Structure 1
Amino acid sequence: MSDLLNVPGEMEALAQSLESGAAALDEISTAPTANAGESIGIVADAVARLAGASAGVSGGLHQAAGEVRVAKHEYVRSDHTGADGMPQPPR
């Protein structure tokens, strides 16, 4: 089971990377709407849509990070269960 040593760590690193990306998006605040004259409504709508899309991506990243962690725990559990059922080598 030598390959087990790296996989959980790699999976956790992936989850942390996803969480970092989500945190970076979460820290972005909506910029004040520029004075766009008669186009102010269109510009404000575009900024609001972009902020909404960013929130959706952030939520998806948080969810994906959680699912990676669940998969990591299941991988470790199933590997240990399989290893426990194997005969031990003679000493």
Structure 2
Amino acid sequence: MAKILIDREDIRQWAIARAGSPMLMDTPEGTGSRTLLQLTFGQEALNSDGNQGPDRVGGFQLVSWTEWFEALEANKLALRVSDDPSGGSEAEFEFVPRD
């Protein structure tokens, strides 16, 4: 079973509970650009013990939650996540249009 998260705090809590961090990437599109959203998981572990870890992951840049939420709302997206308790801390999600 899946549920749709729209509220900023619900999304942030869901991601943080799974060691998630927000990321964005601007890509060219026509004469402008569009912003792609992503969440990365386990970045905190990479940054532990003084190791700063990469700020870029696969072309995506780590950003603040505020920046990420602004992009999420500008793109009129929500986050669909599993609410199956047997899923444990799985970080399965997808971006869906906000209704």
Fold conserved (TM > 0.5)? no
The TM-score, its normalising length taken from structure 2, stands at 0.26
The TM-score, its normalising length taken from structure 1, stands at 0.27
Larger Rg: 1
Return the structure number with greater strand share: 2
Return the structure number with greater helix share: 1
